[in-house]
Structure 1
Amino acid sequence: MLPFLGIALVLALDHSSGNPDVTFEPALTAGPALAAVVTSRTWYPLAVGAVTVGAAFGLAAYDDTLGESVHSASVFAIVLITVIGATSVLLRNRQQKALADARLVSEVAQRVLLRSIPARIGPVRTAVHYAAAAAHARIGGDLYEVVQTRYGVRAVIGDVRGKGLGAVETAAAVLGAFREAAHQEPQLDRVAGWLADSLHRALHENDHEGTEEEFVTLALVSVRPDRVAEIVNCGHPSPLLLRGGRPVQALDPAWPVPPLGVLEPDEVAPPVLELPLQDGDRMLLFTDGVIEARDRWGGFYPLAERLPDCATSDDPAQLLDRLHQDVRRHVGRQLGDDAAMLLLQYAPLLPRPAGEAADCPAGLGPPPSVPFRNGDGRFGFIGHPRRSPIGRPH
């Protein structure tokens, strides 16, 4: 209704002026101009333009200006703005469709490259928060993954130097290698060597600009079944440990190791930091886009200082949401770099006592089995007995 309100306002002003030598007819061009702004339908500016032309002739007859040049100029301007408005709506619709298609492709690529992480993987509660630097992008140069393996829960977070398509290609190569190496290599430092070898091949296969200068910083974490966490760091910001009410602890490596891509693959031998875990321990893995976020005065975001204030919730997802909002308040605008945060909280499930009967609603079958560790270190299951094909438990 806004264009018609504008036309009505012009007619009211002309009527209330009381001066026969003054006409407000040129102001009627606001009608089709407003129509092009408030709609996504191409026909709407044309319809408003037709109504406006009729109003212009009526106003010219009322002011007795039909034979004057101001009337002819006003009608010509109304027609011209109507055509321009309809064309702009058509072009805007095409651009919005192209942007929607690009976002759809980005979402599909994100699901393939950066898969969603469940809220719990084995004894670990997980949460991830990722914000790409590009305004309309969903993926960038940061990477993360958490997988359940026979060696425990393993996680990786990394940052590819640079942005754009080349960084996405490199991140895809590293993630693909991790998803394979995490299941095959029993030693975490060997996983880093596997990733270095895959990265070396990927950088020599890709032909995008700046390949010879690319490298990847990453941190690997493995939560073993014996309540011990292993951390391997290759030039990445050290993960932070939250344990009870204690101060935040940086899990620094024994000695610094450069990012992957700097050394030859056979020279990559990072130290493995072992950390005995306690129930409720939380490890925050992040990329430098978080700690290098600057405020208007150039001050970096003090993550270690602000983390305890944001860690008031036991829910990992809520903790990361609060932390991201705190970073945004510190910066005061959109982040200038990709920023990823991955939270791992050690919260093993308690096994159900063997003699305790679980509630089982009628028709839903026996309760699911629950994994537990025997005294001799072997795994077993508590729950309904595994049945043979003929129905007898064995």
Structure 2
Amino acid sequence: MSATGWIRERIAGPAPGPLPGTATGTWPRLSHALPLIGMLLVASLDWFSNNRVTVEPALTAVPALAAVVSRRTWYPLFIGAVAEAVAFLMAAYNQVLGESVHTATVLAIALVAGIGWVSATLRLRQERALAEAQLVAEIARRVLLRSVPDRVGSVRAAVHYAAAAAHASIGGDLYEVVNTRHGVRAVVGDVRGKGLNAVETAAAVLGAFREAAHQEPALERVAGWLAVSLDRALHENDHPGVEEEFVTLVLIGVCPDGNAEIVNCGHPGPMLIRTDGELELLEPAEPVPPLGVLDPADVRPPIQRVTFRPGDRVLLYTDGVIEARDDRGVFYPLGERLPGLAVGGPVEVLRRLHEDVVRHVGHKLGDDAAMLLLQYEPTGCRLPHQAGQQAAGAVTP
């Protein structure tokens, strides 16, 4: 089966089930009875009017309601046919079969039912197109931004990514964690801008990192490799405004013994969370511009060294987190909130942190936001809280 056929099969699914990627349960099944209830109300009102006035024209609204409450294209036509039958019964009861009000009602019901069928058909096609776009975007995300395993070498890892674009699962932020002979290496970056150009640039940087992280023993030379690849990708793809394109990123390498190196190129500094709750912002000693600003030959970022103890965590993030503002324009206070949220495993911490950022903003984030949490935990090492839990579990009452 071709890739296109596989995608369409995934989208279509078993009939008449819901489409992947579309909201289900927007209108409960009981809502399909609303047009029938509407017809019953109109007929009841006409019955109690005692032939003094006819409300038959109100039946024209019933097929329109059917087109709204149902995703089945045939439903407006079915309701229109039922409404026509009810209209003839009401006209016979009111003795207006030969009058213009009945003729106009019958024609109007037929017209509205036809319009409802067209509307339902177009809406269904749009839903399928949206589902296909969402599925393709999800496939692209899994290829570009691969899932991070729970353990990578001597660290436990977790990632959380939220794209700002509506109905998209990928944007200009990037992340990756790899286990190399030089230790665990990770990158988190942010491409200037949004859209397809940002995705192409992120793909070029990630592809270069996945190769350079294994080949280059020095972390600063990995940054140089990324700068060369970025420069080549921007000029080969002929991006508009290539002179203004750049990527901020931070690289980190963690050796099995806990010694870590950090290279920062214009990116927000990582947050180090010690096991005792102490928080430290790992800012570079001297600022380095983002990749794409300097000539690749001039990219020589300094290395910041830090030693991790078992259980220490480091959070790498993009500016979509710290620049998230509430309705008063106050930025999210990551340094204040993080210590209280850093409880539990890495996945739980990032989930709790993302929920707190969204609560601070009060709505969906307006910028891409990526967070990567690494917890230094050598194989076979028991953290203090884990040892305490095991000891408590061993005590019998």
Q: TM-score, normalised by structure 1?
A: 0.87
Shift of 1:226: 2.5
Residue matched to 1:356: none
Give the AA of the match of 1:3.
P
Write the deviation string for residues 258-312 of structure 1: whole angstroms up to 9, x where unpaired. 0000000111111111111101101000000011111111111111111112112
Q: 1:151·1:224 contact (CA, 8 Å) conserved in 2?
A: yes
Which of 225, 231, 236 is the aligned partner of 2:267?
236
Give the AA of the match of 1:15.
W
Residue matched to 1:316: 346
3-state SS of paired residue (2:178): strand
Shift of 1:246: 3.5
Determine the C-alpha separation between the residues in 1 that align with 2:225 and 2:318.
21
Q: Which protein is bigger by CA-based radius of gyration?
A: 1
3-state SS of paired residue (1:147): strand
Q: 1:230·1:272 contact (CA, 8 Å) conserved in 2?
A: yes
Which runs of 5 or more structure 2 residues have no equivalent in the other structure?
1-32, 383-397
Which of 259, 282, 285 is the aligned partner of 1:254?
285
Write the deviation string for residues 227-280 of structure 1: whole angstroms up to 9, x where unpaired. 101111000000001112333210011100000000001111111111111011
1:51 aligns with 2:93: no
Shift of 1:58: 0.6
Q: 1:284·1:344 contact (CA, 8 Å) conserved in 2?
A: yes
Which of 217, 220, 223 is the aligned partner of 2:248?
217
Judge which range, 269-278 or 39-48, deviates more.
39-48
Determine the C-alpha separation between the residues in 2 that align with 1:246 and 1:102.
43
1:306 aligns with 2:322: no
Counting aligned pairs with the same residue, the percent is: 67
Q: 2:256·2:378 contact (CA, 8 Å) conserved in 1?
A: no
3-state SS of paired residue (2:252): strand
Shift of 1:209: 2.2
Q: 1:7·1:30 contact (CA, 8 Å) conserved in 2?
A: no
1:191 aligns with 2:191: no
Shift of 1:16: 2.0
Q: 2:156·2:375 contact (CA, 8 Å) conserved in 1?
A: yes
Shift of 1:67: 2.1
Determine the C-alpha separation between the residues in 2 that align with 1:351 and 1:282.
15
Residue matched to 2:306: 275
Which of 158, 165, 170 is the aligned partner of 1:139?
170
Determine the C-alpha separation between the residues in 1 that align with 2:285 and 2:325.
29
Q: 1:132·1:338 contact (CA, 8 Å) conserved in 2?
A: yes
Give the ranges of 4+ consecutive aligned residues of structure 1 lying more than 6 Å apart after TM superposition: none
Determine the C-alpha separation between the residues in 1 that align with 2:57 and 2:243.
62
Determine the C-alpha separation between the residues in 1 that align with 2:260 and 2:49.
82
Q: CA RMSD in A?
A: 1.2
Shift of 1:351: 7.3
TM alignment of 1:1-394, pairs within 5 A: 1-18=33-50, 20-313=51-344, 315-350=345-380
3-state SS of paired residue (2:206): helix
Q: TM-score, normalised by structure 2?
A: 0.86
Determine the C-alpha separation between the residues in 1 that align with 2:74 and 2:277.
65
Determine the C-alpha separation between the residues in 2 that align with 1:206 and 1:312.
44
Shift of 1:12: 0.9
Write the deviation string for residues 147-203 of structure 1: whole angstroms up to 9, x where unpaired. 000000000000000000000000000000000000000010110000001001011
Shift of 1:21: 2.7
Q: 2:252·2:263 contact (CA, 8 Å) conserved in 1?
A: yes
Residue matched to 1:388: none
Determine the C-alpha separation between the residues in 2 that align with 1:292 and 1:13.
58
Give the AA of the match of 1:60.
A
Give the AA of the match of 2:59.
L
Shift of 1:208: 3.0
Determine the C-alpha separation between the residues in 1 that align with 2:287 and 2:48.
81
Residue matched to 1:373: none
Shift of 1:17: 2.7
Shift of 1:323: 0.5
- Aligned residue pairs: how many? 350
Shift of 1:94: 0.8
Residue matched to 2:6: none
